[in-house]
Each structure stands twice: as structure tokens, then as C-alpha cells.
Amino acid sequence: MGQGADEHHVVLADPGGNELCVIEPGNNYLAGTGYLGEVTCDGSRDVGLFWRDALGWPLVWEENEQTAVQSPLGGTKISWDPWGRPPIQPKAGRNRQRFDLVAADPTSEAERLVSLGATRLADLADGVELADPDSNEFDLHAD
């Protein structure tokens, strides 16, 4: 699906057309991750820095505008990549994949996230809908 002959991975697509890379064992970038090594989102460096601060997870990758965070406990990395074409392409409708966060006090957590660069979109029955700096919606619910 578009990778060069010198690449050390294979790109496949699921039935919904979502691309995924199958990477050989021993890849240094994926060291310390689980079976699902990384989830990559279309996104800017700013959104990667926002999620670093929002989640309190360390930035484990920052190169060529791509950023990645990972839980301090290890596991899957979450990365944002503009795919070599900043600025990020305009969104067409709502995201079908999104983050849902939980907090003991969604009101104060929403205020904290807004201070980090989120935009408040709507009040929900049990929380708040917000958007990150790239306008990706996410929900914040009471735990």
C-alpha cells in the first residue's frame, strides 16, 4: 500500500480501509511496547504536546513534526504525524475514532484542559465534549 522497496515493514488495510503497519520484531522505536506497538493519528506537533500535558505522559518521540507519547508504565505509544504536509488537512465532519477521558471532577478537569489548549464544545449529561488543538473531538466523563 505505498511503502518503498527498502522499507522494513508491510502496510495493510482493515476492511474499513484503515491502514496498519506490520513491523518486524526488534524495531527500536517500538521497544517497550505491547503487541499493539503504536496508534498513529493525523496530527500536528502541537496536538502531540497537548496530549503529553493532558495525560501527563512523557513525550517519547519528536522528529520531523511527528510526536509520540507513552504511559510511564509502558504499553502502546500514541503518535501524531502530519505525514509530511503541515498544516494538517481540514477535517471533514466528526472523527469516527476519538478519545474518551474520565475524571472525578469533569468540570475542573475541563477547565485544566482548556488552559492547555482544548476548546469546550458542549455540555454532556455526565461530562463535557471538548476538542484538541487540531479540532479533534473528545469526551470527558465523570468516573
Residue 25 has pLDDT above 80, yes or no: no
Domain presence at residue 16: no
Residue 127 lies in a domain: yes
Residue 29 lies in a domain: no
Which domain range does residue 134 map to?
A: 97-143
The pLDDT score that the predictor gives to residue 18 is 76
pLDDT in tens, 29-52: 777 787 888 888 888 999 999 999
Question: How many domains does the chain fold into?
Answer: 1
Instruction: Output the pLDDT for position 62.
Output: 93
CATH, residue 105: 3.10.180.10
At residue 85 the predicted structure's pLDDT band, cuts being 50, 70 and 90, is: low
Strand ranges (E), the chain: 9-13, 19-23, 38-42, 59-63, 66-70, 77-81, 99-103, 119-124, 127-131, 137-142
Question: Is there a domain that residue 119 lies in?
Answer: yes
Higher pLDDT among residues 54 and 22, named by residue: 54
- Does the pLDDT value for residue 84 go beyond 50? yes
